[in-house]
Structure 1
Amino acid sequence: MIEGVIYKQLKKFCDDRGTFMEIVRDDEEILTHFGQASASMTYPGVIKAFHYHKEQDDVWYFPYGNAQVVLYDLREESPTFQKTNVYYMGEENPSTLLIPKRVAHGYRVLGEKSAMIVYFTTRSYQPEEPDEYRIPYDDPQIAFQWETKFR
């Protein structure tokens, strides 16, 4: 596992009215500071990758749809420098994922329906100085193979 990443399986509480899940709590010490909560819908098969931040951490949650999430450690001082982790998140596997600063991240929507990502950051987005740095999804250094392999 990439150093500093926190993966948390969510607990789903069900009754005859529906379900309830806590996503992020202030007593879990996942986020060092709260900056912003955002949501984005992505169509089936779309790859949104890669980007990273120098100043903020992210917590990701997919309330519907399913995604393959890929992380790549860019931190030269980290014992997991240049390591890759893959997580499968979404309605079939409710979970949250803390992505530390300087860890590149992206995802691919799996299945035949759209996915919604809700994410929390330690800084608000600043359009005049965005803390967002892009890397192509097919970057040769990361060399991640996005296609699904059937056996």
Structure 2
Amino acid sequence: MNIEQTFIKDLVILTPDVFEDERGYFFEAYNKNKFSALGINIDFVQDNQSFSQKGTLRGLHYQNPPFAQTKLVRVLQGEIMDVAVDLRKDSPTYGKHFGIRLTAENKKQLLVPQGFAHGFSVLSETAVVLYKCDQFYNKASEGGIRYDDETLNIDWGMDLKDAIVSEKDLVLPDFGNCNSEF
């Protein structure tokens, strides 16, 4: 397992060691001992999986403390632009975002720590996304930021006029008015 630090502290990319032969491939997407050796000691308690069509944009979502979630995001099928926004007010990268293309082919994973908003857009015809969480979902603590916030100016890898967005995500506040407690 290879770990790569992004320009935002604690937001890391993980790339597994992949073993390929004529039958296909094998890799460990998660191994508690290997993650621990990399300094990642997280007790994941829930797996979430979504299937989406091209143009779907989900996010930006977060949960406030004490139900804040760390997420380990990967793609099982297809390609997404995965985005995390730093909401930690005492962070030097507060309000900055990082985006990465996660694909079934590159097998990369993004570890999104507590204190971040998270979302993704689907770039392939369809995509299946799986993410592990270290806290259970808690509706009362959820928050979000509009995907098209002008302050953040996120490049989702697609034309936003074609985005398929839920009613819930369309009414999220902009960055300056979000209810983040980080």
TM-score band, normalised by shorter chain: 0.7 to 0.9
Unaligned runs of 5+ in 2: 1-6, 160-182
Match of 1:4 in 2: 10
Give the direction of change, closer, same or farther, for the CA distance of 1:59–1:147 in structure 2 (3 Å limit). closer
Q: Following the alignment from structure 1 to structure 2, what is the Cα–Cα distance between the partners of residues 139 and 114?
A: 25
Other-structure match for 1:117 = 129
Residue 31 of structure 1, CA deviation: 4.8
CA distance in 2, matches of 1:31, 1:23: 15
Seen in structure 2, the aligned counterparts of structure 1 residues 31 and 125 have a Cα distance that, compared at 3 Å, is farther
Report 1:49-68 matches (<5 A): 49-54=59-64, 55-68=68-81
Q: CA offsets, 1:84-139, max 9 Å, x none?
A: 1111111232111110112111111113x211111100012245x4x431211112
Contact 1:62 1:117 in 2 (8 A): yes
Q: Which amino acid aligns with 2:49?
A: A
Hey, what does 1:141 align to over in structure 2? 151
Higher share of residues assigned helix: 2
Shift of residue 148, structure 1, vs aligned partner: 4.1
Measure how far apart 1:147 and its partner are. 4.8
Say yes or no: does 1:48 pair with 2:58: yes
The share of aligned pairs that are identical, in percent, is: 29
Greater RCO, 1 or 2 (C-alpha within 8 Å, sep 6+): 1
User: How has the CA–CA distance of structure 1 residues 148 and 37 changed in structure 2, closer, same or farther, with 3 Å as cutoff?
Assistant: closer
Residue deviations 1:37-77, cap 9 Å, x none?
12111111111121122322110010110011111111111
> How many Å separate the matches in 1 of 2:22 and 2:70?
37
Is 1:13 the counterpart of 2:13 in the alignment? Answer: no
Q: Match of 2:118?
A: 105
Q: Contact (CA 8 Å) 1:7, 1:96: kept in 2 or not?
A: yes
Distance 1:67 1:118 in 2: 12
Q: CA RMSD in A?
A: 1.8
Q: Aligned equivalents of 1:32 and 1:102: distance in 2?
A: 15
Cα distance in 1 for partners of 2:71, 2:18 equals 22
Q: Which has the higher strand share?
A: 1
The TM-score with structure 1 as length reference comes to 0.86
Unaligned 5+ segments in structure 1 are none
CA contact (8 A) 1:31 1:122 kept: no
Q: TM-score, normalised by structure 2?
A: 0.73
2: CA distance, partners of 1:7 / 1:145: 19
Give 3-state SS (helix, strand or coil) of 2:17's partner: coil
